[in-house]
Structure 1
């Protein structure tokens, strides 16, 4: 009886033992972090965040510690939460994107780092460089090679080229969906040499880039993408020679859609409508699911005063890529020439909306 009474009187005391407060947990988490006890610190931050889920400092520290521990699932979860709490925080989106890249979730990487881009990379330079590089790598991995090259160009012009940029440029230039760690040994020399030439072009070193491209072309004459990249570079300074190199790319790879689209644009600019139409039609045949081919052919039909044929191609382009401003604008032009004012106004409004989103 005495034992039962003692047990009963002990229950209220135990029940009154309060769990650690948010202040206690946050202080202990910080102390453990300062002592380099990262596992303990992360566990304490998680407990504190259960009490205060939107604690921005805790979300950042938990995510950063998880990244250092290679706990990328935890890292991505914490930093995505922080980005939701503070959507204008470029560092939060960057770190979330880097974690998602490590997890090979490339669509999520593009989403997170796309937010950073729309925030104009307003963060410390080291994070901004990492964001641009990994955005370029994710674009390349998902097949958006030209977008990857655009990001690398911006990165090179804000900072000097690095081996990482050179390799990334070479992979994108070869139009391969490789990560740097996935480059086959047989292709490493080509990747680096092509990337080095492209990086020189990105730095606006015209003589240096020309010499490097010429050396790569001599060493790898059967690589269509080497000729295409050289031609794309030359087109700005020497369009005749640029066309010659891009034609070589098409001779080596007749279904090279991007090269055909490039030629169509060059011929259109020169006023050679028949050549532009021929290249546009070949591009559509080679890549019926590539919106840029339909845009190229649609623009050629517009120049040839065939707005109905242009509209057919451009409508298909918009179906394939509804978020493409260039497709929307060209379709608006076709509708205007056909007298379809309401349709033209709708497409022009969508063009302006998409253009605003890209800024």
Structure 2
């Protein structure tokens, strides 16, 4: 699951200041008023942790205070504590289901947690009807990410074009469009560079171009520049770590592990980063650490086939073919054309003594490998000669 890109911490406190639901006075209790005033002061100082404590203090006095519960939820969302934010916002919505702004922030939180099925109806409604343009932008971006994650490209297009029309030159919107349409890559990237030369997205985009070209050192340099502009940008440490693993220098895995751990410090809900850490520990045969991270990866995103493959490989290394075949079987179901998944299942079946099943998986693995090699050779031939091979297509 491609999760919703988190907003940088320098933006979130400002978001909260205009988006938080005002605490209407419910009674004349001096203690509640004192905590309310303290929360307001904390928000003005961008101290979200202190604001959260003040809202919790109000709720300890008045557990049914819907304004405090909703404000706590927004503060938790702004500070990146998504699961706690979801709980607080659901509690607020239970106290008062009529509040559209509570519904919006609950949907934004659910989307970042990967719960797009629950989030999309509210996001689409907010994108359509939300009068506050800043909140409407958040709803539109979040809904777009959910549609992209589900592979609904036509629906994403129908959302992306009016999103760009309403927020021309917005670096985040332009970044999403560049990812959605390869044919608009140059145009969108050019507009991004022209209108926002100071944005960390410019360096991130350049890093992705270099990465796609196999220029790892240049990509890392651009990603590092992006992090200088926005040290809390999600996904960049993950990309740097992946490049380091591919470079295979003597200390590259140690450096990559540090990058993946930095990614988790920014985004604790990153299944990809958890998988990357677990895979490195698996390679080192540190199976307790590998299991911890790989199992968390699949808990965060059960559709992550590569994490299930890594678990299957880990269990085989521990001489547990039954658990290995279970994980490899899940990977095959998730990604039937993944050659690595079929190979892992073949090895597990052999360990269980299921030789007929192992033979079938070996045949599937060899077929997929041959198709991959044929497609690669054909695409290379097209690049070199402009012509497809005999009886082959360029798809």
| Range class of TM-score, shorter chain | 0.3 to 0.5
**Which structure ranks higher in relative contact order (CA pairs < 8 Å, sequence separation ≥ 6)?**
2
TM-score of the pair, normalised by structure 2: 0.43
